[in-house]
Structure 1
Amino acid sequence: MTSAPRSTRRPTAFAVFSILAGSIGWFASFELLTEYIKTLAASDYVPNCNVSILVTCGPNMGSWQGSLFGFSNTIIGVSAFVAPIAVGVALLAGARFSRWFWTLYQLGLLGGFVFIWWLFSQSVFVLGTLCPWCMVVWSVMIPLWWVSFFRPYANGDIPLSDSARAVFQTLLSWTWVIVLICYLVIAFVAQLQLDWLSEFSRM
């Protein structure tokens, strides 16, 4: 069993993807945070994401699910999405990360991935809402996790045998399908529970 060497090419596409995904997630989290602060400052303030009874973020921000750890989840987003931005910038600058770094980075992304699925379930099944900025966070967290999970193994940043690396290279090439399935699951479950298509057709 041999460990395949890592690629020597600079991962420009992955770096740019990480920066864009992190920036979009950070912006959505920042918007939620500023709207949350405004609602605390003025009880009659209407957040900019309150589009309708179904498409709204007010109930999410005001619920215990929106402050799972005793403070607004938006603070986690604003803090955590700095990581993929920093990783992307570092890769563009020519940085090479060790196996332990990629492992810790993947664990952090896995935590975020699991967290957004939990938030999705709470939003749809408990709160009965679709939070616009939350959905932006979900939409970037899903591909960010899958691409960042497969790629370090596929290109040799995390050494594996040739056969195992080939498996991850195949999985990486099919990432868009896995991401699409995740999106479809969210859309399907939300439709069954909230009938969002009818709501959007009236908007």
Structure 2
Amino acid sequence: MSHLVKDRAYGVWLLVSALVGAAASFLLLHERVLLWGDPDHVTACDVNPWVSCGEVMNAWQASTFGFPNIFLGVVGFPLMVLVAVTVLAGARLPRWYHWGVQAGATFAFGFCIWLWYSAVYVIGVLCPYCMVVWSAVIPLFVVVTTRNILTGVIPAPPRVRELTAAWWWALVVLIFLGVFASILIQFSWAFTG
């Protein structure tokens, strides 16, 4: 079994990921509010034509469900902080609770994949704060899923549990490398002039 199953390690991973995601979400919210007040506002992360939170916020993908996606992070990440603190406090949580955390982490991960694809391949502009959110969601999802596989919340054969315990960290690294490679390839012109 991986050390990740231990509540303390799991809680710390959740807490750090959720705090990073919450910070980026609140920074995005701040910039969004400033844009609502002044449509000509230049966001703090408008660096150049291909790195611009303002450009991404003006795309329809930034309000996928009819309201700014930012609100999902502003609500979701503090909830994950609450889960982390509950775990770190030593509470014994029921199986359904872990299924709820898994559902939230899976939704966040799936949504981030779609937002990454939209930013890199459709909008053609990167939002630095959004990328920080992606960076928080990736380990959060993998750690939650790993913990749930190793503790039996998600039923899995023994071999899958062994591989998960040994290689969960490699999955985090591979996902980060995939995202990084897609950005380098898609925006290669920005790096080479």
Mapping of 1:26-175 within 5 angstroms? Answer: 26-154=22-150, 156=151, 158=153, 164-165=157-158, 167-175=160-168
What TM-score results when the alignment is normalised by the length of structure 2?
0.90
What TM-score results when the alignment is normalised by the length of structure 1?
0.86
Size of the aligned set, in residue pairs, is 190
Q: Which runs of 5+ in 1 are unaligned?
A: 1-6
C-alpha spacing 1:172/1:83, structure 2 compared with 1 (3 Å): farther
Q: Say whether 1:176 aligns with 2:169.
A: yes
For the pair shown, the structure with the greater C-alpha radius of gyration is 1
Read off the aligned partner of 2:102 and give its amino acid letter. Answer: Q
Q: Is the 8 A contact 1:25 1:81 kept in 2?
A: yes
CA distance in 1, matches of 2:112, 2:15: 19
CA distance in 2, matches of 1:66, 1:87: 27
Q: Which runs of 5+ in 2 are unaligned?
A: none
Report the counterpart of residue 185 of structure 1 in structure 2: 178
CA distance in 2, matches of 1:107, 1:140: 16
Read off the aligned partner of 1:34 and give its amino acid letter. Answer: H
The RMSD of aligned alpha carbons is 2.1
SS in 1 for 2:51: coil
SS in 2 for 1:19: helix
Read off the aligned partner of 2:41 and give its amino acid letter. Answer: Y
Q: Is the 8 A contact 2:120 2:126 kept in 1?
A: yes
Aligned sequence identity (%) = 35
Q: Is the 8 A contact 2:11 2:85 kept in 1?
A: yes
